[in-house]
Amino acid sequence: MVERETLLGRVVPHVVLLVGVCIVAFPVYLALLASTYDAATVQNGQMSLLPGSQMLENYERIIFSGARATTREPVGTMLLNSFLMALIIALGKIAISLISAYAIVFFRFPFRMAAFWLIFVTLMLPVEVRIYPTYKIVADLGLLDTYTGLTLPLIASATATLLFRQFFMTVPEELVEASKIDGAGPVRFFKDTLLPLSITTMAALFVIQFIYGWNQYLWPLLITTRDNMQTIVIGIKKMIVTQDALTEWQLAMATAVLALLPPVLVVVLMQKLFVKGLVETEK
Amino acid sequence: MASVVLESVRKVYAGGVEAVKGISLTIPDGNFTVLLGPSGCGKSTLLRMIAGLEEISGGTVSIGGRTVNDVEPSERDIAMVFQNYALYPHMSVYDNMAYGLRNRGTPKDEIARRVADAARLLAIEPYLKRKPRALSGGQRQRVAMGRAIVREPAAFLFDEPLSNLDAKLRVQMRLEIRKLHNRLKATSIFVTHDQVEAMTLADQVVVMNGGRIEQVGTPLDIYRAPSSKFVATFIGSPAMNLVSGTVVSSDEVALADGSRLRFDAAIYAPGKGAKVEVGLRPEEAKVESAPGPQLPKLLCDVTEELGATRLLHGTLAGEAFVLALPSDAADPGRTIPVSASPANVHLFDVESGRSLRRSADV
């Protein structure tokens, strides 16, 4: 404990934390509130700080039929699209980074360091920088409006490769040698020893990359044109900006609340492993 | 079981560093051989070449009559115990021991039998379901040995397996390794920098220095008849005293202050007038009750009490010298007349550091 146990010492930290929580939580609460009123009340700013009566109707409408004027697809479809995209990106990133980090750390081959530095350099080139050539390639391959086009360009990951590399470098050399003597070749060593040891690191990465994938905006905006391929982040945006109709704020807010759930669930469910993966060094 | 034969084995690292400079050595079947030397002398490299973890730059290694230079570690029929145990942290003790057997396709009931036998032998039966992290250092060490035992290899290789343990446990495990060897009678090669481990465990000690073998022999041979200054000062604690002298007759050597020591003419035959280094172990130097005109005198300045023995540090004929006395011996004072039985006086060549024994090729 840094502070002494005084009354002030107990109260002040709590006050500071509570203020912080309020600042973060109030907009979320407002979105939740807005999703329980009808369109007119929200539009007029007559919302109270207590929930309204339209909650079930709003959510039912948005999940199963959608805001017809703007997105033309039920949010259920968008949730599924977003979920698939985030899942494929997260799993793909982990799979490809594991393998490349394994190659870089445990094998000696010509241009090993060159390969490592090339991967490292791509950290400087996020999707936004290389967006035109990437779009061109994906379009030429006929991958527009497909899950492959949506996810493949985002799967290569220097960050994850670096993270796994750092982790692998802490695996004692003797463990590799013991495996060799125990008759485990490269594939067995990877499967039997390295993967089980990396589980917490993988979990931490999964959480981070799932949220990264879920929050993608620019890439899905470019690559998808069909309504049944749009992701929920795009959907929200479309609902808010309308040309000649009233923005159905209650529906947009309900969608936002729904969009919040999967990432929150992932974090909550994997929190234990996530924290372990970021701090644990036991080997 | 098998013998291990090395023939002018060399290791040159990329970059030109020669870690092992042509070593020939035979480890007979069932023998416990200890490779002993200071860090960087190439002993671990040599062991790793036998294990197949390090490529062999020259010469041949054969295990049980089969040259294994190009054989995978897992096919060499050896088992290795590592310094930091190298247990698989995510596997239970049972799985740690069974892993190598499973990879070789050993039948399940055979694995279960071998693991149970090894666990009983090492008294680790209660821990079979635990993960290594739930074990103490000594228990982990036992599991590491168990993993080696279940393979029933032709040779056991130990790479400083005791150096991670605390002093008390080290003594205990040392004894257990020796007992285990007496039971299993397996060819064993044990690397250490600890002379006590070498003396207590070995049938055959190989003292290495700078990538070469200094001496091979039983622990007593190495203690009693060191073949060089290096071996003489490396084995024994405190180290053997070395004082320069000149041979004055066929069995006498004169020190710098004119005092004399007798040596055994049957063992050493240096030329008269030759400059030599005279070696005398602290525990073999004797205190004379009365000063004689030709007796070397130790001018003692520090006394160390070790419980069973007392070490008297000082100078003799102008050079640092240590004398070990039993603690209950009378205080000999500050100026101590020293003598030694001729059989305990060693002579070394000043230039090469080799022993001047008649059969110097020991």
Separation of alpha carbons B328 and B310, rounded Å: 9
Q: Quick count: other Cβ atoms within 10 Å of Cβ A166?
A: 12
Superfamily designation of domain A75-281: MetI-like (1.10.3720.10)
Q: Please give the pLDDT value at position B29.
A: 94
Task: Count how many residues are written for chain B.
Answer: 362
Write the DSSP string, B254-299: EETTS-EEE--TTTB-PPTT-EEEEEE-TTT-EE-SS--TTS-EEE
**What single-letter DSSP state applies at residue B127?**
G
pLDDT by 10-residue block (mean), chain B, 362 residues: 90 91 94 94 94 93 93 92 92 95 93 94 92 90 93 93 89 90 93 93 94 94 93 91 92 90 90 90 89 87 91 92 89 88 92 83 46
In this complex, do A181 and B133 lie within 8 Å of one another by their Cβ atoms? no
> What's the token pair of residue B141?
């060490």
Write the DSSP string, chain A: --S---HHHHHHHHHHHHHHHHHHHHHHHHHHHHTTS-HHHHHHT---SS--S-HHHHHHHHHHT--TTTT-S-HHHHHHHHHHHHHHHHHHHHHHHHHHHHHHHH---TTHHHHHHHHHHGGG--TTTTHHHHHHHHHHTT-TTSHHHHHHHHH--HHHHHHHHHHHHTS-HHHHHHHHHTT--HHHHIIIIIHHHHHHHHHHHHHHHHHHHHT--HHHHHH--SGGG--HHHHHHHHH--SSS---HHHHHHHHHHHHHHHHHHHHHHHHHHHHHHH----
- HSE (side-chain half, CA atoms, 13 Å) at B82: 20
Separation of alpha carbons B314 and B327, rounded Å: 17
Angle A75-106/A55-64 helices, nearest 10 degrees? 60
B61 touches chain A (CB under 8 A): no
| Contact criterion met (CB below 8 Å) for B155 and B4 | yes
Cα–Cα distances in Å, from B50 out to A162, B5, B19, B47?
A: 35, 10, 14, 5
CA angle B228, B229, B235 (to 5 degrees): 90
pLDDT less than 50: residues of chain A: 282-283
A108 touches chain B (CB under 8 A): no
| Contact criterion met (CB below 8 Å) for B350 and B276 | yes
> What backbone phi and psi angles, to 5 degrees, belong to B332?
-80, 0
Chain B contact probe: residue of A175, A182, A190 with most B CBs at under 10 A: A182
Say what the ipTM of the complex is: 0.83
| Contact criterion met (CB below 8 Å) for A257 and A35 | yes
| Contact criterion met (CB below 8 Å) for A119 and A55 | no
Q: Please give the pLDDT value at position B322.
A: 94
| Contact criterion met (CB below 8 Å) for A94 and A155 | no
Those residues with Cβ within 8 angstroms of residue B46's Cβ, 6 or more apart along the chain or in another chain: B6, B9, B11, B20, B23, B35, B191, B208
Separation of alpha carbons B233 and B309, rounded Å: 19
Question: Searching chain A, which residue's CA lies closest to the CA of residue B131?
Answer: A283
For the stretch B134-149, what's the b/e string if a residue is b when 16 or more beta carbons lie within 10 angstroms of its beta carbon? ebeebbbbbbbbbbbb
Q: Quick count: other Cβ atoms within 10 Å of Cβ B196?
A: 13
What sign results for the dihedral spanned by CA atoms A68, A70, A76, A80? positive
- HSE (side-chain half, CA atoms, 13 Å) at B289: 2
A280 touches chain B (CB under 8 A): no
| Contact criterion met (CB below 8 Å) for B242 and B317 | no
| Contact criterion met (CB below 8 Å) for A151 and A229 | no
Q: Pairing relation of β-strands B241-249 and B275-280?
A: antiparallel
For A11-30, what is each residue's pLDDT tens digit? 898 999 999 999 999 999 99
**What single-letter DSSP state applies at residue B201?**
H
Q: For residue B94, give the nearest of B119, B66, B120, B61 by alpha carbon.
A: B119
Chain A contact probe: residue of B88, B96, B135 with most A CBs at under 10 A: B88
Q: Which candidate from B83, B103, B133 shows the least CB-CB separation from A182?
A: B103
Question: Searching chain B, which residue's CA lies closest to the CA of residue A198?
Answer: B90
> What's the token pair of residue B58?
């020259």
Separation of alpha carbons A252 and A109, rounded Å: 53
Determine the distance in angstroms separating the CA of A283 from the nearest CA of chain B, rounded to an integer: 6
Question: Searching chain B, which residue's CA lies closest to the CA of residue A183?
Answer: B74
Our CA dihedral for A138, A141, A147, A152, rounded to 10 degrees, sits at -60
B62 burial class (0-12, 13-18, 19+ CB within 10 angstroms)? middle
Q: Please give the pLDDT value at position B23.
A: 93
In this complex, do A181 and B88 lie within 8 Å of one another by their Cβ atoms? no
Q: Please give the pLDDT value at position B361.
A: 47
Please compute Rg for chain B using Cα positions: 24
What sign results for the dihedral spanned by CA atoms A19, A24, A25, A29? positive
pTM for the model stands at 0.82
Map tokens 């694995």 to a residue: B111
> What's the token pair of residue A176?
């590799």
Determine the distance in angstroms separating the CA of B111 from the nearest CA of chain A, rounded to an integer: 14
In this complex, do B90 and A196 lie within 8 Å of one another by their Cβ atoms? yes
B164 touches chain A (CB under 8 A): no
* Domain chopping of chain A, boundaries: 75-281
> What's the token pair of residue B32?
């416990």
Question: Searching chain B, which residue's CA lies closest to the CA of residue A178?
Answer: B86
Separation of alpha carbons B309 and B168, rounded Å: 20
| Contact criterion met (CB below 8 Å) for B357 and B268 | yes
> What's the token pair of residue A173?
């050399």
Determine the distance in angstroms separating the CA of B271 from the nearest CA of chain A, rounded to an integer: 53
For B27-62, what is each residue's pLDDT tens digit? 999 999 999 999 989 999 999 999 999 999 999 999
